[in-house]
Chain A
Amino acid sequence: MTQPNSVTLNVNGKALTANAAAIDTLLTVLRDQFLLTGAKRGCNQGVCGACTVLADGRPVRSCLSLAFDCDDRRIDTIEGLNDRPIMQALQRAFIAGGAFQCGFCTPAMLVASFALLQSNPHPSEAEIRRALSGNYCRCTGYKKIVEAVFDAAARLPADTAA
């Protein structure tokens, strides 16, 4: 298949089909075709992190992923993670801790934090900073985000499933 124009992706556990050109990024397809606008376009260069989604559970830059090359992976976006206990703990902690202001970086920050807590349930503050360092925030100065992730981790029971 050399001139594909339709791609089916596993997004949040569902098979979704979109019209796409070869160069369309996952970000473009998620936002414009599937109307999953939680992932944001902050730079389109993979630097700011606002486009972060999970591919097979690991954080990736959707703005640098070709939609077609994602058809063999499970993509999770913020919209699909809202019902997961780890994400809910993070969201509660972010709200209680004032860990966002304008909120533009927040979905990606939560997705990246979710992935961190899945692989490292009790990270230190330094580990949190390092794991999230590819997600930019211009509003908060990062302190309340670190505290919220730390807090969420502390409140999760040891045996919480993701």
Chain B
Amino acid sequence: MPSSPSLFRPRTLDEALDILAGTPDARPISGGASLVAMMNAGLVEPAALVSLTRIPELSGIRRTADGGIMVGAATRHSAIAADRIFDGTAAVLAHAASQIAGTAVRNMGTIGGAVAHADPGLDFPPALFAVDAHVQLAVKSGRRALPIRDFFVDWYTTALEPGEIVIGFEIPKPKAGAGFYLKHARVAGDFAVVSIALSLADDGEVRVAVGGCGPAPLGSTQADQMLSSGLSAETLRRAGELLTALANPVDDVRGTAEYRKLLIPRMLTRAAREITSARKAVA
């Protein structure tokens, strides 16, 4: 006899964490875009669902005291795409959000839900790398923050402990400059085959991350430093090589591993051209 999961709808974060700590095989759900799709397909049958949609502190985008940006985990993609707070180098995050799926999914999906799902074709993870975000996590026994680079552990696997959820993302104060997210997908709305998240500050600092080429986005402080010394054909070539060497993509219906590796330096060069010409247009 098929059983139906229980549904919990806590109104505070503490209540939610309590339930998650005490209920075996309970899955948190916010936008539902990933989890309900998996349930519909019969891929997952949770014993309990903990809806996070009625917890006010998990939603919303605000400026922090030191000029950074705090994004609640339950903030919808469409809200991030539209918010002008993501200015300067932080624009890469809004640009990535605007290219996720289609209108309706952007109205439903949340940044926390997407990132916790850890699909390598997702758009937020490389953009979060490029803005040097920290993930804020909470479990009944306490809270912690992790640099985003430490959050993706393996294919579809994050550093979340049992009963722990993402509650938000803290982004350091953005610099004046530009951010750009270049996405190559088979068709509009598809997951990325390869993507490049790039930020270019007016002072020349560059941060780059590559999506779709491994269990986690590719990022390298060495590549960032190389590119920060100047976006020349030579530095782009060397940074491209470096990032390609870090890549560990798989073959799937969207593309082969070989194709993805081939694309990394090409797309990096293209993204650099796009971001510099966009800045010239503005200047």
**When the two chains form their complex, are residues A69 and B53 in contact, meaning their CB atoms are under 8 A apart?**
yes
A152 at the interface (CB under 8 A from B): no
A133-B189 CB under 8 A given contacts A44-B40, A60-B104, A64-B36: yes
A2-B8 CB under 8 A given contacts A63-B40, A64-B37: yes
CA gap between A65 and B105 in the complex, in Å: 10
CA gap between A117 and B39 in the complex, in Å: 33
**When the two chains form their complex, are residues B51 and A45 in contact, meaning their CB atoms are under 8 A apart?**
no
Shortest CB-to-CB span from B38 to chain A, Å, is 9
List, in ascending order, chain A residues with CB within 8 A of B32's CB.
Answer: 64-66, 69
List, in ascending order, chain B residues with CB within 8 A of A144's CB.
Answer: none
Partner of B37, one of A3, A46, A135: A46
CA gap between A47 and B105 in the complex, in Å: 9
**When the two chains form their complex, are residues A25 and B36 in contact, meaning their CB atoms are under 8 A apart?**
yes
A95 at the interface (CB under 8 A from B): no
CA gap between A72 and B54 in the complex, in Å: 9
A68 at the interface (CB under 8 A from B): yes
A49-B41 CB under 8 A given contacts A3-B6, A64-B33, A66-B51: no
Interface set, chain A 40-80, CB cutoff 8 A to B: 44-47, 49, 52, 55, 58-61, 63-66, 68-69, 72
How many chain-A residues does the 8 Å CB contact rule pick out? 34
CA gap between A56 and B138 in the complex, in Å: 30
List, in ascending order, chain B residues with CB within 8 A of A55's CB.
Answer: 107
Shortest CB-to-CB span from B78 to chain A, Å, is 8
B67 at the interface (CB under 8 A from A): no
**When the two chains form their complex, are residues A112 and B40 in contact, meaning their CB atoms are under 8 A apart?**
no
- Can you sample 27 A-B contacts with CB below 8 Å? A1-B9, A3-B7, A4-B7, A21-B4, A22-B4, A22-B5, A22-B6, A23-B4, A23-B5, A25-B36, A47-B189, A59-B104, A64-B32, A64-B105, A65-B36, A66-B29, A66-B32, A68-B9, A69-B53, A112-B103, A112-B104, A115-B103, A130-B188, A133-B103, A133-B188, A134-B101, A134-B103
Known: A61-B104, A63-B36. 12 other contacts (CB 8 A): A3-B4, A3-B6, A23-B39, A46-B101, A58-B78, A60-B104, A63-B40, A64-B108, A65-B32, A66-B36, A68-B9, A112-B104
Residues of A bordering B, CB below 8 Å: 1-4, 21-23, 25, 44-47, 49, 52, 55, 58-61, 63-66, 68-69, 72, 112, 115, 130-135
